[in-house]
Amino acid sequence: MGSLPFTTSDLQTSTSGVWSSPTLLCTPLMGTTVDQMLIEMRKAKEIGADIVEIRLDCLRNFNPRQDLEILIKQSPLPTLVTYRPIWEGGQYEGDENKRQDALRLAMEFGASYIDVELEVAHDFNMSISGKKPDNFKVIVSSHNFHNTPSSEAIGNLVARIQATGADIVKIATTALDITDCARIFQIMVHSQIPTIGIVMGERGLISRLLGPKYGGYLTYGALEAGAISAPGQPTAKDLLELYNFRLINPDTKIYGIIGKPVGHSKSPLLFNASFKSVGLNAIYLHFLVDDVAKFFNTYSTPDFGGCSCTIPHKEAALKCMDDIDPIAKKIGAINNICRRPDGKLYAFNTDYIGAISAIEDGLRELNGKAPGGTESPLAGKLFIVLGAGGAGKSLAYGGAQKGARVVVANRTFERAKELADKVGGKAMTLEEVEHFHPEEGMVLANTTSVGMKPKIDETPLPKHALKHYCLVFDAIYTPKDTRLLREAKETGAVIVYGTEMLIRQGFEQYKNFTGLPAPEELFRQLMEKHA
């Protein structure tokens, strides 16, 4: 894209940024009346914002002298006053002189900041020259609602903004790809004056979260999920509570989950709470990724410590790895990627470890043994895996690795056959499993989606067939208590929940990322509360 030399080492932090104060959290007020804004500013303070942005263009029946005095003087937080015209993405359509008069009035009434658009900034700054109160700052902003230009173009833009006499530079661009954020980080890291760099849109979320890492002056956090002033804006509450915004600094290590879609993932909640609980300087984000290779090539510094990987990237990511855990390679899918100290990417499949260890502990419980241990109680067992998709592969390979005699049964027989051949097992159809019981005490693992929400009345195997199994596992975790597991329990089998696989694969990821044991109790509590 750009012609400015750009290497990811430009994203190295800690020493380069001139601006080193903590990034401020600013909550935009979008009320349409002064009274609404007064309520909103109190809420913003309660949530923990540092500044409120008074968006004058949202007010109906705005009376500058009277309203500005009330809003600025009664604000419990320092104020940033913005009167965004329609030509820069705002709502104000009136006379330009009146708009700028209102901004000058805001300065006189004691606003801490005003935001003025680059197009008019030079003349505006001339008009207030010599009249600026102490500690009052002008933010000169530029918004691009189409894309994020090249590094060179952004560099030129910053120079133009600085030349207007801006105290603070604000550049807001639009993300077409998550890697667009890197160019904004680069600008913030090297900026000589305080800079606000925001990449709008869902793919730009990390630009809003990583301001404290790359020396951003300020980031915006909405009062509520629906009340955003620009696309992709997180809530102030999520910034503070979900992403530990106040704990992020230039040395913070970055992890996350790559996927598309990915916003629904609860992993950031689990990992960020866990990192915080042990005082680890790390953050875990949602990475909405379109092109996996581009993502890894762009964010390649040691600061990016690794990621979890979900649909649809579990297979594509394989090609970007320097090394792959042997079982993950056989399964053909990875879900956990770590950057080693030498910079190389190493991948794991923690799904199979999570599921198999849960089944092993279930069998140990059945045998009156303590959880854990090196010998696998699956060794020699007849292990029936229903399904031959992603989860089916993990279970079949995992079981075979532990010495189980694996049978793969699947709706589409050819897929069962292919997988069974690979793991040295036997293949059959789902119907055949119903009457297959060469011995008692078999182990059953359902990895089909039969019985998953919303079709919770379905089950992959009738109840009468379950009496030959000593343990039944269901990969499905929505609902936790599937019909299969309920009926297996009624026939006297030990049951193992899909949530257990989910939690344990998370433990493994945490261990791979940090080299530390996962805070298991906290993981379980959070899972119980939020899953």
Distances 446 to 67, 147, 333, 411, 464 between C-alpha atoms, Å: 64, 45, 19, 12, 16
293 CB-near residues (< 8 Å, 6+ apart) = 316, 319, 320
Q: Which of 137, 143, 253, 330 is catalytic?
A: 143
* 147 lies in the binding site for ligand NAP (CB under 6 A): no
Phi, psi of 436 (to 5 degrees): -95, 105
Residue 496 to residue 481: CA distance in whole angstroms: 10
Smallest separation (angstroms) from ligand NAP to the CB of 197:
37
* 461 lies in the binding site for ligand NAP (CB under 6 A): no
DSSP-derived secondary structure letter, 300: -
- The position carrying tokens 């994203």 is 11
130 CB-near residues (< 8 Å, 6+ apart) = none
Identify which range of 192-200, 447-455, 486-494, 509-517 contacts ligand NAP by CB under 6 A: 447-455
- The position carrying tokens 């910053």 is 158
Q: Where are the alpha helices (DSSP H) in 63-129?
A: 64-74, 96-108, 118-127
Residue from 390, 399, 425, 519 that binds ligand NAP (CB under 6 A)? 390
* 392 lies in the binding site for ligand NAP (CB under 6 A): yes
Q: Which of 10, 67, 351, 361 is catalytic?
A: 351
Distances 78 to 27, 45, 56, 99 between C-alpha atoms, Å: 11, 10, 16, 21
* 396 lies in the binding site for ligand NAP (CB under 6 A): no
Q: Beta partners for 54?
A: 29, 81
* 450 lies in the binding site for ligand NAP (CB under 6 A): yes
Smallest separation (angstroms) from ligand NAP to the CB of 114:
51
Look up residue 483 and give its two tokens. 């019909």
Smallest separation (angstroms) from ligand NAP to the CB of 445:
10
Residue 379 to residue 368: CA distance in whole angstroms: 17
Residue from 168, 388, 471, 485 that binds ligand NAP (CB under 6 A)? 388
Smallest separation (angstroms) from ligand NAP to the CB of 504:
8
* 472 lies in the binding site for ligand NAP (CB under 6 A): no
Q: Which amino acid is at 297?
A: N
Identify which range of 31-39, 236-244, 275-283, 383-391 contacts ligand NAP by CB under 6 A: 383-391
Residues comprising the chain, all counted: 531
* 433 lies in the binding site for ligand NAP (CB under 6 A): no
Binding mask 494-513 for ligand NAP (x = CB under 6 A): ----x--xx--x--------
Hey, which residues between 53 and 82 contact ligand NAP (CB under 6 A)?
A: none
* 250 lies in the binding site for ligand NAP (CB under 6 A): no
69 CB-near residues (< 8 Å, 6+ apart) = 109
Residue from 207, 267, 310, 447 that binds ligand NAP (CB under 6 A)? 447
* 267 lies in the binding site for ligand NAP (CB under 6 A): no
* 449 lies in the binding site for ligand NAP (CB under 6 A): yes
Q: Which residue is nearest to ligand NAP (CB)?
A: 389
Residue from 26, 288, 345, 452 that binds ligand NAP (CB under 6 A)? 452
Cis peptide before 149 (omega within 30 of 0): no
Residue from 71, 166, 288, 476 that binds ligand NAP (CB under 6 A)? 476
Residue 190 to residue 415: CA distance in whole angstroms: 54
* 411 lies in the binding site for ligand NAP (CB under 6 A): yes
Smallest separation (angstroms) from ligand NAP to the CB of 415:
5
- The position carrying tokens 């700052």 is 137
Whether 314 is a known active-site residue: answer yes
How many residues sit in the footprint of ligand NAP (CB under 6 A)?
Answer: 23
* 369 lies in the binding site for ligand NAP (CB under 6 A): no
Tell me how crowded residue 98 is: count the other CB atoms within 10 A of its CB.
12
Smallest separation (angstroms) from ligand NAP to the CB of 395:
9
Using the minimum distance from each CB to ligand NAP, give the nearer residue, 162 or 449: 449
CA 388 to chain centre: 29
Residue 454, Ramachandran bin (φ over 0: left; ψ between -120 and 50: alpha; else beta): alpha
Identify which range of 81-89, 107-115, 171-179, 382-390 contacts ligand NAP by CB under 6 A: 382-390
What DSSP letter does each residue of 146-185 carry, written as one string? Answer: S----HHHHHHHHHHHHHTT-SEEEEEEE-SSTTHHHHHH
SS3 state at 371: coil
Distances 514 to 72, 317, 508, 524 between C-alpha atoms, Å: 46, 21, 10, 19
Whether 260 is a known active-site residue: answer no
Whether 351 is a known active-site residue: answer yes
Residue 59 to residue 37: CA distance in whole angstroms: 9
Smallest separation (angstroms) from ligand NAP to the CB of 455:
8
**C-alpha neighbours within 13 Å on the C-beta side of residue 193:** 19
Q: Which of 137, 313, 314, 402 is catalytic?
A: 314
* 140 lies in the binding site for ligand NAP (CB under 6 A): no
Binding mask 313-352 for ligand NAP (x = CB under 6 A): --------------------------------------x-
Whether 143 is a known active-site residue: answer yes
Smallest separation (angstroms) from ligand NAP to the CB of 311:
8
* 410 lies in the binding site for ligand NAP (CB under 6 A): yes
Q: What residues line the site for ligand NAP (CB under 6 A)?
A: 351, 387-392, 410-412, 415, 447-450, 452, 475-477, 498, 501-502, 505
Any idea which residues carry the catalytic annotation?
143, 170, 314, 351
